[in-house]
Structure 1
Amino acid sequence: MQDYLRIAPRKIGNAAWVETLGLTALVLGLGYWTEPTDPLHAFSGFPWSLFAPVLLGLRYGFAQALVSGLLLLLVLLGMHRFGIGAYAQMPAAYVVGLFACAMLVGEFRDLWDRRLEGLQRANEYRQMRLDEFTRAHHILRLSHDRLEQKIAGNDQSLRSALLAMRQRLNEVQGHEALAAMAESMLDVLAYYGPLRVAALYRVSEDKVIPEPLASLGELPAINFAKDPMVQLMFEHRELISMRPEMAESGLHLEKSPLLACLPLIDTNGEMHAVVAIFGMPFFAFHERNLNLLAILGGHLADILLSREQEIMHLDIDVARFNRYLERSLADAQRYEVPATLIAFEMLDASWSDTLQRLLQSTQRGLDVLRVCDNSKRVKVVLALLPLTAEDGAEGYVQRIRLALQEQFGRSSEEVGLVIHRQAINRLVRKAAVKRFLISECALDEREVAIH
């Protein structure tokens, strides 16, 4: 413990006894110098020799004050023995006062010392606990920094995971996309869950097919037809989990072996599959993580829907844009996941094809583009930026303007490019997005597929 942290006096050593002898001798010497016939000042006014035991008692305590008083008493007895000066007569009052003052001062100083020593021990204990807490805090902070570095260095993000699933879809041959992608879907959910024991089951006519398409860990037995959590999931058509509010509502979900039941429902409301979650780490079982699983489940269901639309030979670009716009609106309302809708209106027809190619070349992985004509017979490119807040959208627009300047040496105003933006968040309703497309972008109401 550093000296500046101490609140109690230091332990008394040999220097204290040397000082006791020295101060007592000094007082006697000064007394003899001022009054040779009465060096103790026992008979001449105030007994100044009392300062030696009093000062030593204040500084060191009872023992040093007593020793100093005894030394003065020995001098007094010696002078009385040899009849020096007035000391032929024993000054009883001086002797009593000397020891009374010395012992009282020393005793109070020792009491003060004991109290400070107790405070010192309490202070050292608290300092020890503070040091332990500080070390634990630094270890936790180091672990957190290493975790951040690990995550920052890991190219697996929500955006990259969805991109990987789209690429996996392109590799799937035939009509059975769910069976071919089940393992990949469950891997994505397990990575972000994180899930320890789970399985993905096909849903047909609102019934779970008991044979799992993909699984993790050792699965317990479960009767999907009678399981209360599965029934509640079909009733509400959303993720259901073993949370306290469920028990408080009178639902007896403790009879289910499931921790959570995640439906994969696309924007058309069709349930493709169910992910039954039997086990996951305790630290991961919270509202935010469950919401992330629900968001992923919806996007995975939309990926399956896109394959069905391709097979049916629908207008892929229009259907894809409408599907992701509906998904972004739903995610913003339910889970507060932001997105941004940008409309690039090309007033100069001579530049419209060039600008369209520029926008397509700068398209990011999850961004969805749609080209259409508005009521003013002007080409409009709609760009939906999922998982992108307003600051991210501003950066995207700035990159478009910078690319236009670098490649063609023109500003957006010079090529007749007008940019309209609409944030999609929890406060924005479908009606506001619809008004943005119809009023600000001048699109025909039939082009706006927002239900």
Structure 2
Amino acid sequence: MDTVRSDPEARRQQAQPGSSPNRWMLGSPLGKLASTEGSTRIRLLEILLLPALFLLVGYGLSPQDPLWVHAEFPWAWLAPIVVALRYGALGGLGASTVLLAGWAVFHGADWLHFPQLYFLGGFITVLVVGEFSSLWRHKTRRAELAQHYLDQRLEHLVRQYYLLRLSHDRLEQELIGRPMSMRDALRHLQTGDDPQKAPLRLLQLLGEYCQISSASLFAVTHDLVHPDALAQLGTPKAPQLQDPLIRQALDTLRLCHVAQTADGAGLSSHYLIAAPLLDLSGTPFALLVVEEMPFYALQDENLQVINLLLHYYCDGLSSHALAQPIVQAYPECPESFAVELQRLSHMQAIAGLDSTLVVLEFSDEAIAHHYPQQILRMRRMLDEHWLMQSPQGRQMLAVLMPLGNASSAEGFLQRIELLLSPKSKQTLQAFGIAPRVFSLGQHPPLALLQHLDGLLHA
């Protein structure tokens, strides 16, 4: 991991604005000669001194012809050519002006014998070389900027990858400590046909999902806690029924933990968490007390999950009474559908966990092809279905998806399309099926069913 962190730093040092991919060459003598970085004063000195140096050398070797005008090769023009390669055409013209001034000095401004072709050819050569230099310096600058941008992007990707690895490791640790999803937890609360084992099954689920290692469940009657536990997890000690955390939980009818007890009572409490179990009227009938759990598990998210599972468990114990308002209004509604609709609505109100209701309207042609029955056979483990029928023969299928969102509904509809047309991939409308998606967080249960009944009998 240290290597991942050091790479961006190295690239950042190499990718500063104005740096070159071959920056290592700039430390060598040849690189220093080829470098064009420097102040304006140094550039002017190079433009003036380099051709002057050639003039002095030419005067020392050939006093009669210091500019080598009549020689086989005009060596004096090497100075403006080199300057033009380094600084472009403008610098080359400045160096050429120095040669022109040198000719005037050495020949006494004898313009009648001025070598026009000599200077014309030299000026043209310098301009061509300067233009070539400017073009390649522009291309090099663009390449450096592109390289700098790519280095920045690579550094950003490396950092994102590093954060992704940290996030992945964090998720792995959470999954190790919490091996099941919320949907699995709700399914465990739904299963089981022995009411006597329900309290123990609740504690086992809390121990597995919320990492509780020692807890007890006591019955409560008229705000009095019975000393005999209904179920125990781990090896709890003798109950302390007058514990301040227990009294605060029964007084407030809410889940309490040691960090939020009033007047510092949590310092003298024997328990970490105390949570009452309420019936539909809001009266406590049982009390959960937690003695031991990992320190890192005592956080807001875990406490919210415990509260959520307790409410879901309490709604399951009063399932018949919970479904009565819906069953009385719509006698043809399955009781299991009505109970789950009410439980998920309470879950959304308590914890903000939304669920989705997918409604499929079938045309007469779709009903004739028995599409409703085919879709019913696709039932997932936790979903609830209600095939609604009107006296006129219209049919609608309501699919309740616990803890589902818009993406879950879209995936469900895509599976239906794949079932009906595995090769042609036609839409549901082509089969005479009109889908509708509703969120329980935006529609109360009775209002939602009233809207569906209106669609069915429209």
Q: TM-score, normalised by structure 1?
A: 0.54
Deviations for 1:37-81, whole angstroms, at most 9, x for unmatched residues? xxxxxxxxxxxxxxxxxxxxxxxxxxxxxxxxxxxxxxxxxxxxx
- How many residues align structurally? 294
* Cα pair distance change 1:309/1:191, threshold 3 Å: same
In the TM superposition, residue 149 of structure 1 has moved relative to its aligned partner by: 7.9
Distance in 2 (alpha carbons) for counterparts of 1:412 and 1:209: 57
Aligned partner (choices 291, 299, 303) of residue 290 of structure 1: 303
* Cα pair distance change 1:363/1:153, threshold 3 Å: farther
Q: Secondary structure at the match of 2:346?
A: helix
1:136-285 aligned at under 5 Å gives the runs: 145=169, 148=172, 151=175, 156-167=180-191, 169-170=192-193, 172=194, 177=195, 179-204=196-221, 206-224=223-241, 226-244=242-260, 246-247=261-262, 250=263, 252-265=265-278, 269=282, 271=284, 273-285=286-298
In the TM superposition, residue 159 of structure 1 has moved relative to its aligned partner by: 1.8
Q: Secondary structure at the match of 1:295?
A: helix
Amino acid across the alignment from 1:398: Q
Q: Secondary structure at the match of 2:421?
A: helix
* Cα pair distance change 1:215/1:436, threshold 3 Å: closer
In the TM superposition, residue 272 of structure 1 has moved relative to its aligned partner by: 5.0
1:405-420 aligned at under 5 Å gives the runs: 405-406=421-422, 411-420=427-436
Identity of counterpart residues, as a percentage?
25
Q: State the partner residue of 2:407.
A: 391
Decide whether the 8 Å contact of 2:355 with 2:439 is kept in 1.
Answer: yes
Deviations for 1:65-120, whole angstroms, at most 9, x for unmatched residues? xxxxxxxxxxxxxxxxxxxxxxxxxxxxxxxxxxxxxxxxxxxxxxxxxxxxxxxx
Q: State the partner residue of 2:347.
A: 331
1:372 and 2:385 aligned = no
Q: Secondary structure at the match of 1:160?
A: helix
Distance in 2 (alpha carbons) for counterparts of 1:259 and 1:440: 46
* Cα pair distance change 1:280/1:269, threshold 3 Å: same
Distance in 1 (alpha carbons) for counterparts of 2:346 and 2:338: 12
Distance in 1 (alpha carbons) for counterparts of 2:334 and 2:356: 18
Aligned partner (choices 349, 373, 376) of residue 357 of structure 1: 373
* Cα pair distance change 1:142/1:414, threshold 3 Å: closer
Decide whether the 8 Å contact of 2:180 with 2:209 is kept in 1.
Answer: no
Distance in 1 (alpha carbons) for counterparts of 2:257 and 2:177: 32
Distance in 1 (alpha carbons) for counterparts of 2:399 and 2:414: 14
1:5-154 aligned at under 5 Å gives the runs: 145=169, 148=172, 151=175
Amino acid across the alignment from 2:367: W
Q: Please provide the CA RMSD for this pair.
A: 4.2
In the TM superposition, residue 441 of structure 1 has moved relative to its aligned partner by: 5.4
Q: State the partner residue of 1:439.
A: 451
Q: State the partner residue of 2:75.
A: none
Decide whether the 8 Å contact of 1:375 with 1:444 is kept in 2.
Answer: no
Decide whether the 8 Å contact of 1:359 with 1:400 is kept in 2.
Answer: yes
Q: Secondary structure at the match of 1:214?
A: strand
Aligned partner (choices 332, 341, 350) of residue 357 of structure 2: 341
Deviations for 1:272-321, whole angstroms, at most 9, x for unmatched residues? 532211221111111111001111112223333448999xxx98963322
Distance in 1 (alpha carbons) for counterparts of 2:290 and 2:353: 23
Distance in 1 (alpha carbons) for counterparts of 2:349 and 2:172: 29
Q: Secondary structure at the match of 2:428?
A: coil
In the TM superposition, residue 242 of structure 1 has moved relative to its aligned partner by: 2.3
Distance in 2 (alpha carbons) for counterparts of 1:348 and 1:316: 21
Distance in 2 (alpha carbons) for counterparts of 1:213 and 1:263: 14
Amino acid across the alignment from 2:342: E
Distance in 1 (alpha carbons) for counterparts of 2:379 and 2:389: 20
In the TM superposition, residue 327 of structure 1 has moved relative to its aligned partner by: 2.2
Decide whether the 8 Å contact of 1:264 with 1:298 is kept in 2.
Answer: yes
Distance in 2 (alpha carbons) for counterparts of 1:269 and 1:319: 22
Distance in 1 (alpha carbons) for counterparts of 2:197 and 2:177: 30
Decide whether the 8 Å contact of 1:343 with 1:441 is kept in 2.
Answer: no
Aligned partner (choices 315, 323, 347) of residue 302 of structure 1: 315
* Cα pair distance change 1:401/1:217, threshold 3 Å: same
Distance in 2 (alpha carbons) for counterparts of 1:238 and 1:153: 26
Q: Secondary structure at the match of 2:350?
A: helix
* Cα pair distance change 1:402/1:444, threshold 3 Å: closer
Amino acid across the alignment from 1:406: P
Distance in 2 (alpha carbons) for counterparts of 1:149 and 1:357: 43
In the TM superposition, residue 336 of structure 1 has moved relative to its aligned partner by: 2.0
Structure 2 residue runs without a partner (length 5+): 1-5, 14-161
Q: TM-score, normalised by structure 2?
A: 0.53
Q: State the partner residue of 2:437.
A: 421
Distance in 2 (alpha carbons) for counterparts of 1:342 and 1:235: 41
Decide whether the 8 Å contact of 1:258 with 1:277 is kept in 2.
Answer: yes
Deviations for 1:402-427, whole angstroms, at most 9, x for unmatched residues? 212239997522443221111234xx
Amino acid across the alignment from 2:204: D
* Cα pair distance change 1:333/1:143, threshold 3 Å: closer
